[in-house]
A and B are shown apart, each in its own frame.
Chain A
Amino acid sequence: MMLRTCVEGLDRVLETDPPPASVLLVTGGEGTLKSSLVLAMMSRYLEFSGGHGLYTSLEQTRESHVRNMESIGIRCHEHLHIFDYRDMRVEWREQSLDMFRVTRDILDTYLEKYRDLMIFAIDSLNALYTLSPKADLRRNIYDFLTELKDRGLTSILILETDGGAGNSGEKFLSDGIIEVGVIESTEGVKRYLQIRKMRGARHQMEKHHLVVKPGGLEVLGPIYG
């Protein structure tokens, strides 16, 4: 199963697939379909691979993600486990939790239950950083990303880049960066997808038009400024 065929037209941009166990960043501003893109990729990936996937959400609830997916026609695969931290954050609000450790434990618990867990995502790194101790943050990020690679899973980390976030080394440490955003022109506002970096894979550099169509997302041709 290839990641580049998980969203219609993504193979226009990503000519070969990233190697297994790659750590990919999906970056972009607010409302640029980062979560929907990742959920669509994971759902389709699991549909063809038959394995299990884990999407951890630090901000939105599982129900909210499922509603959003349904609203744009993305089917949530039954092997896609969406774990939200809501209950944990409510019940442990008086304590400061080490979210890096908690997230590792969540991943280990799912790996113990589903030996064929193949793909993992975090939504979002920003929230993970905000909820983690500030001391040794860069070290924690380095260790965490290294461990994800060692576990042999394809990992997708969502990073919201509004407000200059993303200077903690994750861009350097990740194997690939997929950027989504909006361009305003005389023709109106268009969503785009651009591969900024993809180690071990051939890809186009241009921004490509990303659209919501019945049945999900589609990557169309390049947008020329």
Chain B
Amino acid sequence: MSLASLGGALIEETNLGHEEQEEILSRFVKPNKDILILSILRERPMCGYDLIKEIYKRYNVLLSQGTVYPILYSMEAEGILRAEYSRGNMRTKFYSLTPKGQEVMRLKMGSMVNALEYLLSFLKE
């Protein structure tokens, strides 16, 4: 189960209002932004602008430029992401996962999904 669908499942099973659902998503997305960024970049390379738009589209949470760009730069410095210019566009850097990033992603995703499944198993009862 992907993180996006897991978050969706959590929301679908509640009878909360729209604002409350947004609040729950926001509380989920912000502390887990690193892994959500990795999970989106695993699908296709993106620049910071596209990433912020994609997170908004999926989770209805608008992360600040001042949050996303430092995370991208730190992950690049740590060898988790690689940044490349696309052909014909030397102004915009597109980020993708390195092999180390794939491994980091796999481990973090596994831990998070396990933790969420554990949490949901009690909430469903």
Contacts and interface: CB of A to CB of B under 8 A. Distances in A.
A113 B64 CA distance: 16
A87 B70 contact: no
Contacts of A113: 70, 74
B114 interface: no
B64 A105 contact: yes
B49 A106 contact: no
B91 A88 contact: no
Given A83-B73, A113-B74, A90 B66 contact: no
Interface in B45-94: 47-49, 64-67, 69-71, 73-74, 91-93
Nearest to A62: B73
A87 B92 contact: yes
B74 A87 contact: no
A103 B66 contact: yes
Nearest to A99: B66
Contacts of B48: 87-88, 91
Given A87-B48, A87-B93, A90-B92, A101 B66 contact: yes
A80 to B, nearest CB: 12
A121 to B, nearest CB: 15
B65 A92 contact: yes
A81 B92 CA distance: 21
Nearest to B72: A87
Nearest to B51: A91
Contacts of B92: 87, 90-91
Contacts of A81: 74
B79 to A, nearest CB: 14
A84 to B, nearest CB: 9
Contacts of B71: 109
Given A87-B47, A92-B49, A106 B69 contact: yes
A109 B47 contact: no
Interface in A93-115: 97, 101-110, 113
B65 A97 contact: yes
A103 B70 CA distance: 11
B67 A90 contact: no
Contacts of A103: 66
B47 A102 contact: no
A87 B69 contact: yes
A105 B66 contact: yes
Contacts of B91: 90
B67 A109 contact: yes
A22 B98 CA distance: 41
A109 B70 contact: yes
Given A88-B65, A101-B64, A83 B70 contact: yes
Given A105-B67, A108-B67, A109-B70, 15 more contacts: A81-B74, A83-B69, A87-B47, A87-B69, A87-B92, A88-B65, A90-B92, A91-B49, A91-B92, A92-B65, A101-B64, A102-B66, A104-B66, A106-B67, A113-B70
Interface of A: 81, 83, 87-88, 90-92, 97, 101-110, 113
6 smallest CB-CB distances across A and B, nearest first, come from A105-B66, A91-B49, A102-B66, A105-B64, A106-B66, A109-B70
